[in-house]
Amino acid sequence: MSKPLAILENVTTGYFSDIVLKNVDLEIFPNDFIGVIGPNGGGKTTMIKVLLGILPLFKGKVTFPQGKPNMGYLPQISQIDKSFPITVRDLVGSGLKTERSWFPHLSAKQKKQVNQMLDEAGLMSLASKPIGELSGGQTQKAFLCRALINHPQLLILDEPNTFVDKGFEQELYRWLKELNKEMAILLVSHDIGTISPMVKTIACVNGTLHYHPSNQLTEDLLKVYNCPVDIIAHGPVPHRVLKDH
Amino acid sequence: MSEVFSILEYAFFRNALAAALLTSLLAAMVGTYIVSRKIVFISGGITHASFGGIGMAYFFGLNPLLGAAVFAVLSATGIEWISQKGKVREDSAIAILWSLGMALGIIFVFMTPGYSPNLMSFLFGSILSVGKAELYLLLAFFILTLAFFIVFFRPVVYTAFDPEFARIMGIPVAFFRYTMSVIIALAIVISIRTVGIILVLSLFTIPQITAMLFTRDFAKIIPLAALWGALGSLAGLFFSYFFNIPSGAAIIFILTLQFLILKGFVMARNFFRRDEKVIT
Ligand SMILES: Nc1ncnc2c1ncn2[C@@H]1O[C@H](COP(=O)(O)OP(=O)(O)OP(=O)(O)O)[C@@H](O)[C@H]1O
Ligand SMILES: [Mg+2]
């Protein structure tokens, strides 16, 4: 197995003096597809911020054995001001990391990159629309484009299935499966029923982190680690989620 | 009509015209940032805090605009600092600053011996008395701000929209946020001369809201806001001169009227378009 992309070691962090995450350990390998579950306020988003290096640690460390990887990030949609006057094209362009990132206009090459990305996602017809006029699914797609345009080695998605219907969700997951061939993916979701068959491993974050090296969920995993997710409620596939051990 | 042209022969009126034009162009850029980031209330706090500086400068016999600038910059960077630390409720801090500034201003103005004839002009604006020196100052600040917006357009927009993502992209977010708060503070203080403290914020918001009737693209809101702001300011200036009312009130009145008319126009257009679509 190759070296990990990122290692969280004994990480304790939070906001001001409140501890949100305690002694979290996690290794992310280049081909990983990790589903992160956990209750509201459990610290999933906080863990992502640690990985992205935008939240200082109280204790522990984050290391990147292969050097700091290129990370693509799709934030939780509730953190975004959708009424901000920015078009889909500019949003996607804001994900381009170049030495010209301060320059007022994108270069011709960068514009082409943005167009290619929009084309791939089927968003071309919406390119000039402000993000406030997109549907929930289109919004997620546009933000996914912003995360992808820089060809990340690690793609971090914070609840990309919020405000998205089932059909759209399936399309999204097919896309992610394809992307996983080229990059590691860390996917936060409440909807364990749908993500479980797709991800390779599961991490449960609830103040601490419990790593489950398979995508099969057991009753005790959920009980012992206090990850209250409603398994039965997820319709047609509960038998695929729960497996007797 | 000839009366309109004849006043152009007066230097003071030409100065006023230039000041109105430059102020509205400056407000178009800075105001678009304010409206997009939804920091109108913060900017109101900065504006009113600056009155404390005006009062103090009066009392100590200094240039009032200098006092206003110091107060405005300190409160703007202070608010940005508080919001980045996130420990205090931002809006209560702004409310305190807002009222403290006004109270300090009034206290010092009243403690200053003698009558202060210029006070009204700070509250309501007196564009007709703008001098050459002030005009050059305005021009210089306008050019600096324009240059900053042109060179750093993308990071300014990105750090306003999603500062966390901008930080991940390696943009020095704190630098841009603080620089923008200084630019906001100075732009407001410089515009006080034209429209006065009470109405200055309208100059930074009404043209933008008008522009946003037509576009929701940051880069396009600026020129459109410049157009509506300049039109309204110039019309307001003539209105102010011929009816002998304070320039601030005249300009803001015209800007508001303009907004309402265009809003009505857009609503009517949408209404008829909908009808067409139903028929076909
Ligand atoms: N900026 C912040 N300032 C202060 N406290 C915060 C901040 N962000 C999060 N918290 C607190 O940290 C805890 C964990 O939040 P976090 O957003 O990581 O949870 P989450 O697992 O992502 O929840 P959700 O499923 O609702 O997105 C919560 O109790 C929250 O109140
Ligand atoms: Mg979250």
Contact present, B68 and B192 (Cβ < 8 Å) = yes
Ligand closest to Cα of A22 equals 1
Q: What is the mean pLDDT of chain A?
A: 86
How far apart CA B155 and CA B161 sit, in angstroms, is: 10
SS3 label, residue B204: coil
What is the reported pLDDT for B37? 96
Measuring from atom 31 of ligand 1, which residue has the nearest CA?
A41
Contact present, B259 and B208 (Cβ < 8 Å) = no
Contact present, A147 and B168 (Cβ < 8 Å) = no
Q: What residues of B are in contact with residue A102 (Cβ under 8 Å)?
A: 151-152, 154-155, 171
How far apart CA B231 and CA B258 sit, in angstroms, is: 9
Structure tokens at B61: 């016999």
How does pLDDT run across A177-229, given as a tens digit for each residue?
999 999 999 999 877 777 788 899 988 898 888 887 777 766 656 665 556 55
Domains and their CATH numbers in chain B = 2-279 (1.10.3470.10)
What residue segments make up the domains of chain A, in order of their start?
Answer: 6-82+134-234
How does pLDDT run across B56-82, given as a tens digit for each residue?
998 999 988 999 999 999 999 998 888
Contact present, A12 and A19 (Cβ < 8 Å) = yes
pTM summary value = 0.91
Q: What angle do CA B44, B46, B47 make, to 5 degrees?
A: 65
The answer to whether B169 contacts A102, with C-beta atoms less than 8 Å apart, is no
How does pLDDT run across A170-181, given as a tens digit for each residue?
888 899 999 999
**Which residues have CB less than 5 Å away from ligand 2 (the ion)?**
A 44-45, 76
How does pLDDT run across A28-50, given as a tens digit for each residue?
999 999 999 988 999 999 999 99
Q: What is the ipTM of this complex?
A: 0.90
Q: What residues of A are in contact with residue B212 (Cβ under 8 Å)?
A: 85
Mutate to test the interface with A, among B89, B165, B173, B214 (most CBs of A within 10 A): B165
Q: What angle do CA A117, A120, A125 make, to 5 degrees?
A: 85
Ligand closest to Cα of A229 equals 1
Instruction: Quote the DSSP letter at residue A3.
Output: P
Dihedral sign for Cα atoms in the order B182, B185, B186, B187: positive
A6-82+134-234 belongs to CATH 3.40.50.300 = yes
Following DSSP, what letter does each residue of B88-114 receive, concatenated? S-HHHHHHHHHHHHHHHHHHHHHHSSS
Mean pLDDT of A65-83: 95
